Structure 1
Amino acid sequence: MEQQTPNKYVTVAYELYTDNDKGIHELVEKAPIEHPFQFISGLGIALDSFESKILALAEGEAFDFVLKVDEAYGPYEQDHVIELPKETFAINGRFDKDMVYPGAVLPLVNADGMRFQGLVLELKDNTVIIDLNHPLAGKDLHFKGQVVTMRDATNEEIQALINHEGCNCGGDCEGGCEGGCGGHHHEHGEGECCGKHEHGKGECCGKHEHGEGCGCHK
């Protein structure tokens, strides 16, 4: 009988770089050693390609690798830019102009109940243009960092994460998910977490989840 690979509790400190439109290598995200990115392997929290590279390392080991577009968030797809009626974003019959404006990132939900985020590109007279592509779609992701923790996850940690489905596990998993972007503490303020976001999967049913945070990891 084949022995099942145990789930690993992993924390990593890293800097994430991508090339911008001008070909300049820029920092888009940082998870410092004081507040590392935390995940449990095998639960779909992190990108499969990211997880496999990290699991091949030992605690304390440094890493420097690039995930190509197809290993990361895939190509940028124009089909994931959609137009929704302004009524979708109405509160008590009035368009929510305080929250919905060009550049705003909005939590949405599709017909299957899957939550994801959309970037407002443009407001028209009666509609809103939303980009459902992941912010890092079409980009190679260059990670530099260090494995801070690598050990078998406890049953309690796994169960705590399942109980808080949709968030990364914060701290030692006993206190639930931390606020912000899935428990991350970003220092650069741009880009998204390296966890697996399900942007642009399926058509949006036009439901706007007012007031929700960005913890939309799979």
Structure 2
Amino acid sequence: MNQQVVKNTVITLDYHVTDPDGEVVDEGRDPLVYLHGGYDDIFPKIEEALQGKAVGESVQVKLQPDEAFGEYDPSLVQIEPRKDFPKELEVGMQFEGGPEDGGDDDFVIYRVTDIADGKVVLDGNHPLAGSALVFTCTVTAIRPASAEEIEHGHVHGGDDEEGCH
């Protein structure tokens, strides 16, 4: 029986992501495994394109920023005094920070994008925020999801992986 990508199946994809000019953004070294069926395990537009596909079929989906990692939000850029940071500080380092309005659990990962004149520039945007992305993938495996995976809304790995994260 030829399995298809349908709700509550676990899909394995070989994929890569480029920007609209063809520059590779993510070469997809490891296959992507996700639970299909509206669990927000993968961008909805990609899930839509994969619906009903069989092993060996490929799709290419162009995602606008709001369908991928969101628009670039200038308010997520903060400038902080250098003295508030550890001595070992490099561009590219990441810090977890709460939102300035003190929301409950919305932690933002800030990347250091610049260090100059006693100031540190932190950017809480995803590195791909504001980017359109072209996502090309091929279905390499389809299996029914377990009841537990469906209940938890995501894939559980093999025995060598930790349980739920």
Q: 1:56 Cα deviation (Å)? A: 4.1
CA distance in 1, matches of 2:27, 2:148: 28
Q: 1:67 Cα deviation (Å)? A: 1.2
CA offsets, 1:64-95, max 9 Å, x none?
Answer: 221122322232221221234557x6xxxxx3
CA distance in 1, matches of 2:87, 2:18: 33
- Match of residue 96, structure 1, among 82, 86, 109: 86
* Contact 2:111/2:124, CA 8 A, preserved across alignment: yes
Give the 3 Å change call, closer, same or farther, for CA 14–176 of structure 1 in structure 2. same
CA distance in 2, matches of 1:48, 1:40: 12
* Contact 2:11/2:143, CA 8 A, preserved across alignment: yes
- Match of residue 48, structure 1, among 39, 44, 55: 44
Q: Are 2:53 and 1:71 aligned?
A: no
Q: 1:45 Cα deviation (Å)? A: 2.4
Q: Are 2:135 and 1:138 aligned?
A: no
- Which structure is larger by alpha-carbon Rg, 1 or 2? 2
Q: 1:13 Cα deviation (Å)? A: 0.7
Question: What are the equivalent positions in structure 2 for 1:127-166 lying under 5 Å apart?
Answer: 127-158=119-150
Residue 122 of structure 2: SS of its match in structure 1?
strand
Q: 1:131 Cα deviation (Å)? A: 0.8
- Match of residue 39, structure 1, among 23, 34, 38: 34
Q: Which has the higher contact order (CA 8 A, sep 6+)?
A: 2
Q: TM-score, normalised by structure 2?
A: 0.73
Q: TM-score, normalised by structure 1?
A: 0.58
Q: 1:48 Cα deviation (Å)? A: 1.9
Residue 148 of structure 1: SS of its match in structure 2?
strand
Residue 66 of structure 2: SS of its match in structure 1?
helix
Q: Gaps spanning 5+ residues in structure 2: where?
A: 1-5
Residue 31 of structure 1: SS of its match in structure 2?
coil
Give the aligned partner of residue 26 of structure 1. 23
Question: What are the equivalent positions in structure 2 for 1:148-187 lying under 5 Å apart?
Answer: 148-158=140-150, 169=155, 171-172=157-158, 175-176=161-162
Give the 3 Å change call, closer, same or farther, for CA 170–141 of structure 1 in structure 2. farther
Give the 3 Å change call, closer, same or farther, for CA 79–40 of structure 1 in structure 2. same
CA offsets, 1:93-145, max 9 Å, x none?
Answer: xx3232x3222233444432234422112335665321111111111111222
Amino acid at match of 1:39: Y
Q: Aligned residue pairs: how many?
A: 156
* Contact 1:106/1:117, CA 8 A, preserved across alignment: yes
CA distance in 1, matches of 2:159, 2:134: 28
CA distance in 1, matches of 2:71, 2:90: 25
CA distance in 1, matches of 2:76, 2:110: 10
Residue 121 of structure 1: SS of its match in structure 2?
strand
Give the 3 Å change call, closer, same or farther, for CA 146–6 of structure 1 in structure 2. closer
For the aligned residues, what is the CA RMSD?
A: 3.2
